[in-house]
Amino acid sequence: MLQTKSSWNIVIPHINQANCFNGLLVVLLLFDLNFSKERDTHVDPVKRLSLGKLVTKTDGTVPIAPHNNPTSRPLRLPNTTYPLHYYLYISSHIHHEVFEYSGNVTIDIATRESTNEIVLHAKNLSDFVIKIRDLGTQDIMDDLTYSYDAYASFLIIHPVQNYQAFEAGHEYQLEILFKGLLHEDTFGIYWMAYSDEKNNTVYVTATQFEPTSARLAFPCYDEPSYKANFTISLTHSNCYTAISNMMVRQIEPYIDANDAPGQNDVSMVTTTFQTTPAISTYLVAFVISNFEYISEEYRGIKQRVYTSPPIADKGRKALKNAVRTVSMFEDYFGIKYPLAKLDHIALKKNYGLAMENWGLITYKEDSLVEQESVGLHKQLKDMLTQNHEIAHQWFGNLVSPQWWTYAWLNEGFATYFSYVVTDLIYPEYKTMDFFLTDIAERAYSYNYMTVRPMTYYVEKESEIVSVFDIISYQRAACVIKMFHHAFNQKTFVRGISKYLSKYQYAVANETDLFNEVQAAVAQDLTFSHLEWSHHSVGNIMYSWTHSEWIPIVSIVRDYEKNTITIRQRSKDQNTSEHWWIPLNFASASQPEFERTRADYFMPPIPEVTLNANELGIELRNNDWLIVNKQQTGFYHVHYNDANLWLIAKQLHDDHTVIHPLNRAAIFQDMGPLIENNEIQSVDVIFELLQYLQYEDNLIPWNQVADTIEFLGKNLFGTSSHKLFNHFVRQLIRPLFRRLFETPLHENLTNTDLMARQKVLEMACLVDLRECLDYTHNLARESIFRNVKFSNDMSYYAMDETILCLGVKYLSDEEFNEILNILSKAERETPWYDDLIYSLRCTQSPSHLQQYLNLLLCENSTKSIMNDSDSMMYLLYLFKSNRAARPVMWNFFENHYRVLCQSQMFIENFNRIAEYMTKYQRSMFLDLHSKIANELEKVGRQSSLIANDSPHVGKKVKLSETFLEKFNDQIYEWLKRHHQSTFAASLGARSSAAQIGRLFRVAGKFLRKMQERKLRL
């Protein structure tokens, strides 16, 4: 429970009277807000409202009284009045651990149309004292009252007798005194505690208003389009400093007019900040703390990094980056950062990683300050976090979204351009490659749970929070990237700059953006001969911002007529969405991959057939064709098999002719097809995979990893499995040796780090000797000698991977030694968890048996039976380790009586049932009935899955079908391959025989196509 420790008074500091109120508010309001001691701060907000205590003011006027007759109404503010200027005053005694504060917000309001009410947001605030003055006549309006609508969080000020009290064209000054609570969670104004060097607790407050929490801090028009100027004053201990969006205008001693002369509390000061430009409420921010800062000034902008005193020097790197990034954004968009300063503050508690408040970015401490021995991955992520927030200073702060429908205008642009700008400043990090794995991979993976259009109307607070999701961030970033390239990068940026300058200090929606891009495109001579360039940019972009799914583009060539049929459909077969799709092409005769603007926009129709000449492509009959150069378009591409054969041949001849991102795209596009059994033949896939033995670029390896893992797991235990492992070992051995057996000469990028992990997983999955030895040695060192993994492993999931792979094949002696360590290790430590978790990867049946005993068995001294964690490990074990499945089943058969005592076992058994193949059906039914009987015998309410439930075997259906369709084909291909490579020398570039064979196959395919005149 949070409690206050003192009672206190507030006055409006005289700065307000003198400078801000222009003498309009002639009377200094003095009021007493005595708080009871030890008061519970968790008071129901609605109840608190009724506590509003009227205070007689010195001018004899009485503030308006509350009217308790709230009615439900729409959740959006009526558009009849709007704020011009806020004078916000907050007085905090946080240094004395007081979690309540007093405030005064005085708002100059304009009236758009005559109305009987002024409606604004307020939530969990109390003790309102409200007064309104007509700024024209200077009269105080004394026939008003107020209501509170808890559902909409509206404070509604209206006349006692209904009439149009507020006239169109008039301006009013609304003054509200109120009280609020500092929150423990990161909403509104919140508090956090630190220990100082002398071990004293120091309390600090900060704010988090996005998207709808400004109303928790003070009454306001809490919608982004109600921009106004803010003059903020904060009263706080003189041991603290206050920072806010703007520079400090002045700090004065605090004077309480109630105190007798000479009795003023000299330990308090009032900090007043310069007035902000027009700003949305969600971007207002302040922090009251004892923090210290380092600073740098460049181009007239002062940037400071604030941290708690013990880590005052740990922000150097962030400061340097911030200075470079702000000027890079200024240059890139040609628009100056408009404020005189930008602060960055590291907080112990922050909502998410960081928040872009204008001029005062708040961060979670470990995202801003340097830490010892943190890997490159985290360093780059932190830099991208900071640059994302800096990007918001333009996208969101300077131009704000008209409503949260357009949250993607903030988040999509900040996400994408933080990568672009980071890449420009630090080309060595290859940040745009990282975009593919960090952003695009997630955008491509979204599913039924997350699907919605980018432009999406929301209203309730919970809905507003929910649009800060994968669609507003990742999908929007990918769509913006696509248009950045499709419309010529410079042209698109010109349109964006225009948009930013046209709507600066105001709000915008997507149409405003599209119009500016349209204007820029219309002026681009490279597009001027194209019909769409003069009027369709909006339609093109709407088709992406109003659709839910991702298009799949199929390319089918007619080799005789030299035509290309392009089809589009949604990734979700049940929807009929169509898009304007920017396409560009490269071919064997024209292998140009650099120019990424659109060669052609496919209109939103299912199919179009065009002559290669019409598309401006040089394309001969036996040329390969590749669509979507450098994967800049946000869609999947499927090719007909004949074209894939031609691509495979090129990859074998000289793979470097095809851009590495497109080599990667081939696998990325094919992966889902393979996993959903939508391919016709696997031969061409294995031919494509085969080129990987020459591939030393990690980006394609990164993309192919999922396909190799999928094939390896599906083929486990089949006739093809050994041959498959042998095949993949051949592909990966040269790369493995280069990556892990030779000293590193270059600096690793993030993509390298992620790919290294995937390479390690693939190589050990297929039992590459070198990989097993390598991980085994590292795991031994780590487990038995507590040696930390070296820095080139510093990718967050790498340690876990090494431990898992390194224990795959242990000697009995090693395994027992680990059990011994575990028996002595302290439970509930990360070390214990890591070890228990990684042991699930062991392959030996007898070790697995021991592992299960350790996890579950009643006779084991270390049994962690009934522990929900151990039951979770059971599920992981079943899912991830195919070798463990028979051992586990045997174990269940022997111990089901004991296991049934745990409800968690039944829950996990139900999930394991999803992995039962139809060949295991009778075995499953047998155990199922034993478990059901046992549960009945002991009279337990059972939530056991029904034995005929459609969920049984659900998770393995696709792979069952895959094996039925393709296992024979795969076996034949692998056998042929095994025989042919047996003679050929390994590791050399494709032997003449191999190339010849591939060419013959591709040629045969083409001839077959032509003979049958098939249009695939």
Quickly list DSSP for 745-802.
-SPPPHHHHHHHHHHHHHHHHTT-HHHHHHHHHHHHHHHHH-PPPPGGG-STTHHHHH
CA 400 and chain centroid, separation? 20
Phi-psi region of 298 (alpha: psi -120 to 50; beta: other; left: phi over 0): beta
In angstroms, rounded to a whole number, what is the distance separating the alpha carbons of residues 766 and 768? 6
Interacting span for Zn ion (CB under 5 A) from 410-418, 528-536, 596-604, 836-844: 410-418
Please state the closest distance from residue 386 (CB atom) to Zn ion, in A: 11
Closest approach, Cβ 342 to Zn ion, in A, equals: 16
**What is the spatial distance between Cα 850 and Cα 884, in angstroms, rounded to a whole number?**
12
Question: Which of 380, 351, 353, 384 minimizes the C-alpha distance to 366?
Answer: 353
DSSP code at position 428:
G
- Could you tell me the CA-to-CA distances from 260 to 67, 125, 236, 255, 553 in Å, in that order? 37, 30, 20, 10, 80
- Closest separation between CB of residue 354 and Zn ion, Å? 8
Task: Tally Cβ neighbours within 10 Å of residue 63.
Answer: 23
Tell me which H or E stretch contains 267: none
Output the smallest distance, CB 384 to Zn ion, in A. 11
Contact flag: residue 454 with Zn ion (CB under 5 A)? no
Can you tell me the distance from the alpha carbon of 579 to that of 556, in angstroms, rounded to the nearest whole number?
Answer: 19
- The residue among 344 and 928 lying less far from Zn ion, judged by its C-beta, is 344
Q: Provide the Cα torsion 631, 632, 633, 634; round to 10°.
A: 80
Q: Which is nearer to Zn ion, 411 or 706 (CB)?
A: 411
Q: Which is nearer to Zn ion, 435 or 878 (CB)?
A: 435
In angstroms, give the least distance from the CB of 414 to Zn ion. Answer: 5
Task: Considering only the stretches 329-337, 409-417, 647-655, 879-887, report the one whose residues sit in contact with Zn ion under the rule CB under 5 A.
Answer: 409-417
Nearest distance, CB of residue 609 and Zn ion, angstroms: 43
Give the residue with the Cβ less far from Zn ion, 414 or 540: 414
Nearest to Zn ion of 464, 839 (CB atom): 464
As measured in angstroms, the least distance from the Cβ of 397 to Zn ion is: 11
| Residue number, 108 or 411, with CB nearest to Zn ion | 411
Complex with Zn ion: residue 103 or 396, whichever CB lies closer: 396
Element (H, E) at 660: helix 660-675
The answer to whether the beta carbons of residues 392 and 357 sit under 8 Å apart is no
Instruction: Name which of residues 548 to 567 contact Zn ion (CB under 5 A).
Output: none
| Shortest Å, Cβ 415 to Zn ion | 7
Cis peptide before 700 (omega within 30 of 0): no
Q: According to CB under 5 A, which residues from 146 to 185 bind Zn ion?
A: none
Smallest gap from Cβ 447 to Zn ion, in A, equals 23
> What span, in angstroms and rounded, lies between the C-alpha atoms of 66 and 89?
22
Between 414 and 916, whose beta carbon lies closer to Zn ion? 414
- Give the containing element (helix H, strand E) for 675: helix 660-675
CB 288 within 8 A of CB 324: no
Q: Which among 162-170, 404-412, 691-699, 959-967 is the span making contact with Zn ion, rule CB under 5 A? A: 404-412
843, 882 contact by CB (below 8 A)? no
Q: How far is the CB of 508 from Zn ion (least distance, A)?
A: 17
Where does this chain touch Zn ion (CB under 5 A) — which range of 163-171, 405-413, 648-656, 987-995? 405-413
- Whole-Å CA distances, 344 to 209, 318, 974: 16, 9, 58
Residue nearest to Zn ion (CB): 414
Q: What does the block give as tokens for 588? A: 């064997």
- Gap between the Cα atoms of 99 and 897, Å rounded: 54
> Which amino acid would we find at residue 663?
R
Of the residues 326, 383, 390, 414, which one makes contact with Zn ion according to CB under 5 A: 414
Residues in 740-779 that interact with Zn ion by CB under 5 A: none
Q: Which residue number, 8 or 473, has a Cβ lying nearer to Zn ion?
A: 473
Report the nearest approach of Zn ion to the CB of residue 392 (Å).
5
Q: DSSP string covering 839-878, please?
A: GGG---HHHHHHHHHHHH-TT-TT--TT-HHHHHHHHHHH
Minimum distance, C-beta of residue 893 to Zn ion, in the bound complex (Å): 53
**Which residue stretch of 254-262, 412-420, 552-560, 954-962 sits at the interface with Zn ion (rule: CB under 5 A)?**
412-420
Query: Is 407 an interacting residue with respect to Zn ion (CB under 5 A)?
Result: no
- Spatial separation of the C-alpha atoms in residues 288 and 735, rounded to whole Å: 54
Options 220-228, 408-416, 548-556, 710-718: segment touching Zn ion (CB under 5 A):
408-416
Shortest Cβ 70–Zn ion spacing (Å) = 35
Smallest gap from Cβ 369 to Zn ion, in A, equals 20
What CA–CA distance (Å, rounded) separates 645 from 691?
12
Strands 248-253 and 201-208: unpaired
> Which positions ≥6 away from 218 have C-beta within 8 Å?
88, 90, 103, 105, 122, 125, 178, 180
Q: Which stretch, 144-152, 411-419, 935-943, 950-958, contacts Zn ion (CB under 5 A)?
A: 411-419
The footprint of Zn ion on this chain (CB under 5 A) covers a number of residues equal to: 2
Which C-beta is closer to Zn ion: that of 282 or that of 962?
A: 282
Among the listed residues 900, 898, 984, 887, the one whose alpha carbon sits nearest the alpha carbon of residue 942: 900
Please say which residue, 204 or 399, places its beta carbon nearer to Zn ion.
399
412/671 with CB nearer Zn ion? 412
Q: What's CA 649's distance to the chain center, in Å? A: 39
CB of 477 to Zn ion, least distance (A): 11
Q: Rounded to an integer, what distance in angstroms lies between the CA atom of residue 733 and that of residue 754? A: 18
Report the nearest approach of Zn ion to the CB of residue 503 (Å): 18
Identity of the residue, 414 or 998, whose beta carbon is nearer to Zn ion in the bound complex: 414
The interface region with Zn ion, picked from 6-14, 226-234, 413-421, 837-845 by CB under 5 A, is 413-421
Stretch that binds Zn ion, among 258-266, 414-422, 556-564, 906-914 (CB under 5 A): 414-422
Interface with Zn ion in residues 214-243 (CB under 5 A): none
415 versus 725: smaller Cβ distance to Zn ion: 415
Our CB check for Zn ion shows the closer of 318 and 764 to be: 318
Q: Are 355 and 344 in contact (CB under 8 A)?
A: no
**Considering beta carbons, is residue 269 or 328 the nearer one to Zn ion?**
328
Closer to Zn ion at the Cβ: 383 or 888?
A: 383
> What is the closest distance, in whole angstroms, from the C-beta atom of residue 389 to Zn ion in the complex?
7
Where along the sequence are the contacts to Zn ion (CB under 5 A)? 411, 414
